[in-house]
């Protein structure tokens, strides 16, 4: 018993090692045109993110790695909605709600030349209820004469308005100093789950429909502003809210920026895929259902499995599915996907949006499996029964005995089994199969390793 407890402790420590502490998240919130993106650029110290003067140009919600006074944090720019849509009020509120949910602290930007509007007041209400620390940024104070306008914003009840000119950089240092004071060192939202919204990699070979699906999931056919001089941003990750649940879609730059034609594109696409998978918790691998499965498809799936990520396989372009192709597809699934029978498969159409709701459900299932921990007691009860009913085959007159097992980590679940001798690969697979039958683990790879003890 003591031995077991010791092992558990040992392994748990290994599982949640240092260096993985999630960075605190600072979100920039406010009405359209108050200067959020300008401020974000100013904070990041670069000018590549565009500020559109044209109403109606949509921007993507993105997060950036930020740094101030030696502190690292994740900066979230929530300026992404269309400026002239109807119901802007509720849109702003929704945006703010999401930002608040995922943030450790919020910079609330108000245009001091306009003053507080009713929309601003609604957001303030929301921010106040959240209990999250809020820093009030009175933007567009380009010179001393604007300070008086800023002072009016005391009335919002959010404390001191920090006069800032995001455009010229005036006051942004003080603003950030104030933000750093309230921002925790380590993200405090990630206790139950990892840092905020789940991270999803949308991967698959070119033209399977990644970009189409991303747009569909984001709920709008957004303008993909690409390659036009001066309008390129580098949206590394995009926050997409699906049915009220925010997800980070990681590394979407490669999806949005269409680089298929360039030389060596294949190689870079593969690297990008790898990077996206590494960054994500779950990989949604898109496959073109209307085409024969290719080696490239299975390679992407292997990449996800090898990286130990949760997995969902989405058969896209189902609207193009020809009944004649069905039997071939079935055979491909049997042949090419035999190693990943545990992964949920969803038939979708990025074009029509058909079954995208199932896709998100599958995604949640896979992530849940990925996070699952089987208590040591239950695991050993399971192993005891399994061994009693199906002992390891005799080898050279000897029979390795399973002493006990423990789940060393989650994300993905890793099991260590202590035995008196080496367990054959077939028997390990048998254990995995039974583990899955008993505990689920749909959509997650699981690892089993064996330690031999004399």
Q: Which residues are annotated as a binding site for GTP?
A: 30-37, 77-81, 139-142, 204-211, 251-255, 316-319
Residue 317 within binding range of ligand GDP, rule CB under 6 A: yes
Closer CB to ligand GDP, residue 165 or residue 187? 165
Closer CB to ligand GDP, residue 1 or residue 323? 323
Closer CB to ligand GDP, residue 226 or residue 447? 226
73, 67 Cβ separation under 8 angstroms = yes
**For residue 403, how many other CB atoms are within 10 A of its CB?**
16
- Report the C-alpha gap between 206 and 266 in whole angstroms: 9
Closer CB to ligand GDP, residue 272 or residue 317? 317
Pick the binder of ligand GDP from 190, 206, 246, 421 (CB under 6 A).
Answer: 206
Pick the binder of ligand GDP from 351, 358, 361, 434 (CB under 6 A).
Answer: 351
Closer CB to ligand GDP, residue 188 or residue 319? 319
**For residue 135, how many other CB atoms are within 10 A of its CB?**
25
Residue 196 within binding range of ligand GDP, rule CB under 6 A: no
Shortest Cβ 281–ligand GDP spacing (Å): 21
Dig out the tokens for 250 from the structure.
Answer: 């990681």
Residue 319 within binding range of ligand GDP, rule CB under 6 A: yes
- Report the C-alpha gap between 79 and 58 in whole angstroms: 9
Q: For residue 9, with 0-12 CB atoms within 10 Å meaning exposed, 13-18 middle and 19 or more buried, which class applies?
A: exposed
Q: Please work out the total of residues on this chain that contact ligand GDP, with binding judged by CB under 6 A.
A: 33
- Report the C-alpha gap between 202 and 361 in whole angstroms: 15
Provide the 3-class DSSP secondary structure of residue 411. Answer: coil
Pick the binder of ligand GDP from 61, 198, 199, 210 (CB under 6 A).
Answer: 210
DSSP label of 407: E
Dig out the tokens for 36 from the structure.
Answer: 């959020």
Binding mask 224-263 for ligand GDP (x = CB under 6 A): -------------------------------x--------
Instruction: Give how far Cα 20 sits from Cα of 14, 190, 200, 247, Å.
Output: 12, 11, 18, 19
- Residue 279 backbone dihedrals phi, psi, to 5 degrees: -80, -20
The dihedral region occupied by 448, where left means phi > 0, alpha psi between -120 and 50, and beta the remainder, is beta
Residue 133 within binding range of ligand GDP, rule CB under 6 A: no
Length of the chain in residues, anyone?
A: 454
Residue 166 within binding range of ligand GDP, rule CB under 6 A: yes
Closer CB to ligand GDP, residue 117 or residue 410? 117
Closer CB to ligand GDP, residue 60 or residue 371? 60
Residue 369 within binding range of ligand GDP, rule CB under 6 A: no
Pick the binder of ligand GDP from 88, 93, 151, 167 (CB under 6 A).
Answer: 167
Angle (CA) 112-118-124 rounded to 5° is 75
Residue 350 within binding range of ligand GDP, rule CB under 6 A: yes
Closer CB to ligand GDP, residue 60 or residue 97? 60
Shortest Cβ 354–ligand GDP spacing (Å): 8
Nearest Cα to Cα of residue 375 among 354, 341, 405? 405
Binding-site annotation, residues: 30-37, 77-81, 139-142, 204-211, 251-255, 316-319
Closer CB to ligand GDP, residue 74 or residue 316? 316
Residue 349 within binding range of ligand GDP, rule CB under 6 A: yes
Residue 63 within binding range of ligand GDP, rule CB under 6 A: no
Shortest Cβ 109–ligand GDP spacing (Å): 6
Q: For residue 410, with 0-12 CB atoms within 10 Å meaning exposed, 13-18 middle and 19 or more buried, which class applies?
A: middle
Nearest Cα to Cα of residue 369 among 247, 198, 190? 198
Strand order in the sheet with 402-409: 402-409, 414-419, 447-452
Window contacting ligand GDP (CB under 6 A); options: 34-42, 335-343, 404-412, 413-421: 34-42
Cα 204 from chain centre: 17
Residue 142 within binding range of ligand GDP, rule CB under 6 A: yes
Binding site for ligand GDP (CB under 6 A): 30, 32-38, 51, 53, 79, 139-140, 142, 165-167, 204, 206-212, 255, 316-317, 319-320, 349-351
């Amino acid at each position: 018993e003591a031995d077991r407890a010791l092992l558990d402790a040992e392994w748990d420590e290994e599982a949640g090692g240092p260096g993985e502490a999630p960075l605190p998240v600072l979100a920039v919130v406010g009405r359209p045109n108050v200067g959020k993106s300008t401020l974000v650029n100013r904070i990041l110290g670069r000018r590549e993110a565009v500020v559109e003067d044209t109403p109606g140009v949509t921007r993507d919600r993105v997060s950036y790695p930020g740094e101030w006074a030696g502190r690292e944090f994740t900066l979230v720019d929530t300026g992404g909605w269309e400026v002239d849509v109807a119901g802007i009020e509720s849109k702003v509120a929704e945006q703010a709600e999401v930002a608040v949910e995922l943030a450790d602290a919020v910079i609330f930007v108000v245009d001091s030349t306009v003053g507080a509007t009713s929309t601003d007041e609604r957001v303030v209400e929301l921010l106040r209820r959240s209990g999250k620390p809020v820093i009030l940024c009175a933007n567009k104070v380009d010179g001393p004469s604007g300070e008086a306008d800023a002072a009016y914003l005391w009335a919002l009840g959010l404390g001191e308005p920090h006069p800032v000119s995001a455009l010229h950089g005036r006051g942004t240092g003080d603003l950030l100093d104030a933000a750093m004071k309230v921002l925790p060192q380590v993200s405090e939202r990630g206790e139950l789950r990892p840092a905020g919204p789940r991270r999803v990699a949308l991967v698959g070979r070119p033209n399977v429909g990644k970009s189409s699906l991303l747009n569909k999931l984001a709920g709008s056919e957004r303008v993909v502003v690409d390659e036009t001089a001066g309008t390129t941003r580098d949206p590394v990750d995009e926050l997409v809210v699906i049915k009220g649940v925010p997800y980070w879609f990681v590394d979407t730059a490669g999806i949005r920026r269409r680089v298929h034609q360039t030389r060596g594109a294949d190689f870079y696409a593969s690297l990008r895929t790898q990077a996206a998978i590494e960054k994500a918790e779950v990989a949604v691998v898109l496959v073109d259902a209307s085409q024969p499965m290719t080696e490239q498809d299975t390679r992407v799936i292997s990449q996800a499995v090898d990286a130990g990520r949760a997995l969902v396989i989405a058969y896209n372009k189902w609207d193009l599915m020809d009944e004649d192709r069905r039997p071939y597809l079935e055979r491909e699934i049997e042949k090419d996907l035999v190693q990943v029978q545990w992964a949920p498969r969803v038939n979708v159409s990025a074009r029509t949006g058909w079954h995208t709701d199932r896709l998100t459900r599958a995604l949640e299932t896979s992530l849940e499996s990925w996070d699952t921990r089987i208590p040591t007691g239950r695991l050993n009860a399971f192993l005891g029964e399994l061994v009693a009913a199906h002992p390891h085959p005799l080898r050279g007159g000897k029979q390795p005995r399973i002493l006990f097992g423990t789940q060393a980590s989650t994300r993905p679940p890793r099991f260590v089994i202590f035995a008196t001798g080496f367990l054959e690969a077939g028997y390990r697979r048998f254990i995995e199969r039974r583990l899955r039958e008993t505990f689920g683990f749909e959509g997650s790879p699981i690892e089993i390793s064996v330690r031999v003890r004399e």
